[in-house]
Amino acid sequence: MAAVAPTLELERALGGRVIGLDEVGRGALAGPVAVGACLVDTELTQFPAGVRDSKLLTPKRRLALAEQIPQCAPCAVGMAEPGEIDELGITRALALAAKRALAGLGEEALRGVDAILLDGSHDWLSAYGGSLPAPVTVRPKADRDCLSVAAASVVAKVARDELMVTLAARHPQYAWESNKGYGSAVHRQAILEHGVSEQHRVSWNLGGAAAHTVAAPPVAQAAAAAAVEVAEGDEAVSQDPPAVAYPGAGQEEGTLW
């Protein structure tokens, strides 16, 4: 059976200028949770053919659409990192990532927005997101049925997947390039054998006592805990690997509306 093609029907009913939101990574054991935002104007926005819920697309098709969608509508992705998930809990971390995504759209884009359309059956954004630029409408299967949310799901999925591939190069034992931080058999076995990394959600059930250990990346072990000693005169300066950049991290929330 062919996938249902999403439309802008609900977005029109909500007023025409609508921000679709969708999350990815909620159930992963490692890596951030990401929220994509896509602002549509039903009088102007024309998406490329084939936009669907990201879960219904091949990786190749997702990547192509993720490059095309931002040319048709303002898009942004916000993330909450594993430490924030451990500190706040997943629901509040989702709201934080969503606020970062909204801020990423920019102040000008947020003016005159009629509604925020959220996939699912629970309005976690109004509950924990504080001040918002528009009221929230929640719709089950919005990622399947609503174009703004489907588009947001694509840009969020591609952004998070690309980040997990980058992180996999630092921690190859977990095979994040294929499992994207989710609880595959290979990933869980690696946690048992190597412990957890700084990218794991250590407040979650990761599997026995291994969840309380921290595994240094193999690259770091081979390079003295990832530090390179660079001689400067009589002193040695330790150069650590660059920090991971999460979209929206460190942004001030609630300053745009």
pLDDT averages per 10-residue partition of the chain, 257 residues: 81 96 97 97 91 90 94 96 97 97 95 95 92 96 95 96 96 97 95 95 77 50 32 36 54 45
Give pLDDT, residue 142: 95
What's the number of CA atoms in the CB half-sphere (13 Å) around residue 115? 18
Query: Does 28 reside within a domain?
Result: yes
pTM of the model: 0.84
Same domain, 158 and 210: no
Query: Does 160 reside within a domain?
Result: yes
Give pLDDT, residue 121: 92
39 Cβ neighbours under 8 A, 6+ residues apart: 17, 18, 19, 20, 73, 74, 75, 105, 109, 113, 148
Query: Would you give the DSSP letter of residue 253?
Result: S
Same domain, 152 and 212: no
Handedness of CA 9, 72, 165, 160 (dihedral sign): negative
Same domain, 117 and 135: yes
Same domain, 176 and 52: no
Token readout for 13 is 């009913």
Query: Does 254 reside within a domain?
Result: no
Query: Does 1 reside within a domain?
Result: no
Give pLDDT, residue 126: 94
Give CA angle at 128 (123, 134), nearest 5°. Answer: 65
Beta strands in the chain (DSSP E): 17-24, 33-41, 75-80, 115-119, 136-139, 228-232, 235-239
Give pLDDT, residue 4: 77
Query: Does 58 reside within a domain?
Result: yes
Same domain, 139 and 22: yes
Query: Does 246 reside within a domain?
Result: no
Same domain, 150 and 212: no
Q: Tell me the residue range of the domain where 178 lies.
A: 171-239
Query: Does 138 reside within a domain?
Result: yes
How many domains does the chain fold into?
Answer: 2
